[in-house]
A = this chain, B = another copy of it.
Amino acid sequence: MKIALLSGGSGKRLWPLSNDARSKQFLRMLMNERGEMESMVQRVWRQLQEAGLAGDACIATGKAQVDVLSSQLHGGIPIVVEPERRDTFPAIALLSTYLYSVAGTPLQEVVAVLPVDPYVEREFFGKVKELERLMDVSQADLALIGVKPAYPSEKYGYIVPKAKIASKGASGRGYEAVARFHEKPSEGEAERLIGQGALWNCGVFAFRLNYMIELLVRAGYPIQYDEMVKQYDRLPQISFDCEVVEKADNVIVTSYGGYWKDLGTWNTLTEEMSVRQIGKAICDRTENTHVINESDLLVAVIGVSNVVVAASPDGILVADKAASPKLKELLKNESQRPMFEERRWGTYKVLNRKTLDNGREAVTRLKRVRAGQSLSYHLHVSHQEYWTILSGSGEFVLNNKFSSVKEGQVLQIPAGSAHSVKAVTDLEWVEVQLGRRLAGEDTLRLFADWDDIVKHCRVN
């Protein structure tokens, strides 16, 4: 069996900690049994390893998440990069062509698709393994895991089985045929659905690889990975539920009665946070209040209960937990470039962004490259940079000339000059960018790998 993970979403739901470069699944806010903080992605990955499923896993994600995924999972998983963010049907189609034409997965192999951010117990992965056997015995096209509803929620999709699922556990054969689906019912409808044995759809789908490949062939889409990448924009922007699951004839569901939670909003996430305070914070006369402080500033909370206070270089949130699901709506008109990013080579944080006269702009950043890592060889068309090295040492290259750099040095990089640096020891500097158009489009990348940079510069 293959495990195909989907790492989607940008996410204003957990603003200001999540941003377009750092989706909620990468926030290290959960504590594992050894007392270490881990992100949702790291938790699921650890659970897959414990279940013996990690070796057969791959993951689909957007360009913006490749660096942080590599960094958080230590490069332990093949990453399939979506050429653009569309929806779950295109992403699963892309993954299927990868498995078929690149990884050489046999067509009869069962593929289980999992979102990367469910908060579940170990038992859940037992269910995932079981899907393979259920596909055999049921001869179904698709097998789903349905979560036993804890309450008549209005925000989930419901899977309605043909026979009522016994309340004490799965039926004897371990699965039921699916009659239909019901998306986001009212509370009253949800109660009726639960009476009929309906289960929450938690986004887990299993199919044999040939099922998807045949579906792609029939629909006239490529089944070779390279070709799929090229034609990715032809795929409809639609969910796998709508495009495949709801149209399929022969779908089964197996019920999972253990703990499952969608940590998508501050109120659900904080319920799972055993640590009440992360970062610099003091609380007084508070009850059930969480402070997650990723800024350098002290946060003081007095006499305010049932609230989440979150601070990061992107902003400050003070939200009543029950009202926190309104956050996404409230921020819908706010667009802001991320002030903190975790990259393949290290991290950066925006310290200040200032509009100057004549349309010029100044951005001051604290940048850190881990020992052994290097930036791409790149140039900026319209702005110059000034680096003041705070600590560490490295090899710097400017217009094909190499030099050593270390703490206390200042580097000036004129507009139009190609440059890179490789950290020998952890290298940290304050960078001032000065000029026009300081966003990404002012940057031209020449080479990504340090070895290529060295080769290129030796020749030129």
Contacts and interface: CB of A to CB of B under 8 A. Distances in A.
Given A351-B352, A352-B430, A386-B410, A315 B298 contact: yes
A401 interface: no
A245 interface: no
Given A366-B364, A386-B388, A318 B301 contact: yes
Interface stretch (A132-140, A247-255, A324-332): A324-332
A351 B324 contact: no
A405 to B, nearest CB: 14
Q: How many identical subunits does the complex contain?
A: 2
A370 to B, nearest CB: 15
A299 B285 contact: no
B316 A304 contact: no
Interface residues of A, number: 59
Interface in A343-391: 351-354, 356-357, 360, 362, 364, 366, 384, 386, 388, 390-391
A163 interface: no
Given A304-B307, A390-B354, A410-B412, A298 B336 contact: yes
B356 A390 contact: yes
B317 A300 contact: yes
A52 to B, nearest CB: 42
A284 B357 CA distance: 34
B318 A307 contact: yes
A296 interface: yes
A297 interface: yes
A430 B362 contact: yes
A360 B392 CA distance: 12
The 3 residue pairs across chains A and B that have the minimum distance between CB atoms: A303-B323, A303-B320, A351-B351
Interface of A: 15-16, 282, 284-285, 293, 295-304, 307, 309, 311, 313-320, 322-324, 326-327, 330-331, 334, 336, 351-354, 356-357, 360, 362, 364, 366, 384, 386, 388, 390-391, 407-408, 410, 412, 428, 430, 432, 434
7 contacts: A296-B353, A299-B317, A302-B324, A303-B323, A303-B326, A316-B316, A352-B430
